[in-house]
Amino acid sequence: MSIASRPYVGRFAPSPTGPLHFGSLVAAVGSFLEARAHGGRWLLRIEDVDAPRTTPGAADGIIATLARFGFEWDGDIVWQSGRLDAYRQAFEQLQAAGHVFACACTRRELADSTLARDGSRIYPGTCRNGLPPGRAPHAWRVRAEGTVAFVDRIQGPQREDLGSEVGDFVVLRGDGQFAYQLAVVVDDAAAGVTDIVRGADLLGSTGRQIHLQHLLGVPTPGYAHLPVVVNAAGEKLSKQTLAAPLDDHAPTPSLAAALAFLGQEPPADLARASRDEIWAWARAHWSLACVPRQLCALPPAQAAAS
């Protein structure tokens, strides 16, 4: 069955690096409402594959905040830390088909390589045809060549030349950690996700993920990348930029602000409505077509003040 004819399955996939903030709320609201507008399922996955980057207690905090904000997910929460066998299997499939190679290059050796648009280094191909004598692997990379094109439902047509704009990318690190790119593709495929709605900061990862879907022989979902919330300095809200955590005790102003950020034009008095009234309004009025076709924007209060 083609993915377009399968019942809609969406998801929200936070990384437990800290508490939810307004930026992550926007991604949760957009993916949730789009799934419900299609009568679809909405799954929750905790992306704790990168153990060293995971903050103890953050996942429980995220789940509690989502529940306080009135999100309802379908089925059990998936934890990437419990899915290592599936990642290993996918890695072995890629390896058996000759798509991965061991790479000995250190970060320092790659420091002069050109930057890809997500800030990673475009791999110059040093170990593509075998490790240099006497060197041990630091990582395993997947060969990336050819062009990936897709139409993003918000940002429009996208095209990426994997060889010149992305380069061979890491799927398994020397410390045994599977890369986010591999984990996300394996998990979305296993869960039957048909549609991915997430922040545009991940637009630069999508070409890599579609490439992996092709190599693994799994369907490519539809994509819609929402504008990312930035602060006055133009930085994405994150733990690093000290984004304020959401207030679990006052969900309604943040929910109303998230709807405004997503171009849904909630009535001014909605911020004073109850949580359930906001959701009822949001479900009745949600339209992906109203989401601004922008890669990033200030949150509503700051946009109004500037």
- Site residues (vs ligand GLU, CB under 6 A): 13-15, 47, 184, 198, 202
The first and second tokens of residue 215, run together, are 């190599």
Whichever of 15 and 220 has its CB closer to ligand GLU, that residue is 15
Smallest separation (angstroms) from ligand GLU to the CB of 70: 20
* DSSP assigned state of 263: T
Tokens of 231: 């602060």
- Are the C-beta atoms of residues 159 and 153 closer than 8 Å to each other? no
What are 218's two structure tokens? Answer: 């799994």
**54 vs 252, which CB is nearer to ligand GLU?**
54
The nearest distance, CB 240 to ligand GLU, in angstroms, is 12
Q: Provide the 3-class DSSP secondary structure of residue 230.
A: strand
Which one, 51 or 301, has the nearer CB to ligand GLU?
Answer: 51
Task: Tell me the closest approach of the beta carbon of residue 13 to ligand GLU, in angstroms.
Answer: 4
CA distances from 113 to 102, 110, 137, 162, 201 (A): 18, 5, 19, 15, 21
Residue placing its CB nearer to ligand GLU in the complex, 100 or 184:
184
Coil vs helix vs strand at 226: strand
Alpha carbon distance 123, 126 (integer Å): 8
Question: In angstroms, what is the minimal distance from the CB of 2 to ligand GLU?
Answer: 22
If the CB atoms of residues 23 and 263 are measured against ligand GLU, the closer one turns out to be 23
Cβ nearer to ligand GLU, comparing 14 with 167: 14
Q: What is the DSSP string of 181-217?
A: HHHHHHHHHHTT--EEEEEGGGHHHHHHHHHHHHHHT
CB of 14 to ligand GLU, least distance (A): 5
> Which amino acid would we find at residue 201?
D
Query: Please, what is the minimum distance in Å from the beta carbon of residue 153 to ligand GLU?
Result: 15
